[in-house]
Amino acid sequence: MIVIDEIIEKYYSRVYAFALTHVKSETIAEDLTQDIFLQLVKKESHLQNIEDLEAYIFTATRYATYHYFKKIRRNEVLKEEMLNSMKNQLAQDEDHLLVSDLEKKFHDIIYTLPERQREIFQLSREKGLTHNEIAKKLQISPSTVKNHMVKALKTLRHQYTLISSCIVVFVIYSIYYFTV
């Protein structure tokens, strides 16, 4: 019967050294080594069937370092894709600023609603609750929820129309100002 403690004692420092020579980081080598021996602990009952345990352990270590580098490469590709995405996003900065400003204005308008209307609106639109679910949660009738939603939406539409008009004027002014 193979005792896992003996295996760890015999091979741990060698596996760590092997991993360290490849990954060049003590922390990562330690993590890989621990992962290798954790896998061995999980497969302890099958270890007696392995003919050359040392070869098995070092092959597992070689695969672990290979997968580590593969993961790094994948992360680099992901980082590059994210960088390109961010560059594209920065190219659309003005649109983004306009949208974020509109979102801020929208949230500001929501907070001008009376407290109960705001609460019902947020439960409906942000939490996705139905009128009946809101009514149960707030212990009011579904028709009261509907009335609050109608009033809230009417207020939001009116305020949004005012903001939209200001934006149109701003865009027209900007186009005129920058073309003259």
pLDDT in tens, 32-56: 999 999 998 988 888 888 889 999 9
Q: What are the φ and ψ backbone dihedral angles of 91, each rounded to 5 degrees?
A: -65, -25
**Which is more confidently placed, 174 or 133?**
133
Instruction: Give the end-to-end CA distance of the chain in Å, rounded to a whole number.
Output: 89
Q: Which amino acid is residue 135, in one-letter code?
A: A
pLDDT tens digits, one per residue of 95-149: 656 667 767 777 787 888 899 988 998 888 888 889 999 999 999 999 999 999 8
At residue 55's C-alpha, the angle toward residues 69 and 25, to 5°, is 30
Tokens of 145: 């929820």
Residue ranges matching CATH 1.10.1740 in the chain: 4-89
Report CA-CA distances (Å) from 105 to 12, 76, 142, 164: 60, 38, 29, 11
Total residue length of the chain: 180
Say what the pTM is: 0.45
The CATH classification of domain 93-179, taken from the options 3.30.390.10, 1.10.10.10, 1.20.1260.10, 3.40.50.80: 1.10.10.10
Q: Give the model's confidence band at 163: pLDDT under 50 very low, under 70 low, under 90 confident, else very high.
A: low
Rounded to whole angstroms, how far apart are CA atoms 122 and 133? 13
Structure token digits, residue 154: 């009417």
Domain 4-89 has CATH 1.10.1740: yes
Tokens standing for residue 11? 């091979």
CB burial of residue 122 (10 Å; 0-12, 13-18, 19+) = middle
The first and second tokens of residue 68, run together, are 């580590």
Query: Is a pLDDT exceeding 50 seen at residue 82?
Result: yes
Closest by alpha carbon to 121, among 107, 100, 103? 107
CATH 1.10.10.10 boundaries in the chain: 93-179
Rg of the chain taking only CA atoms, in angstroms = 31
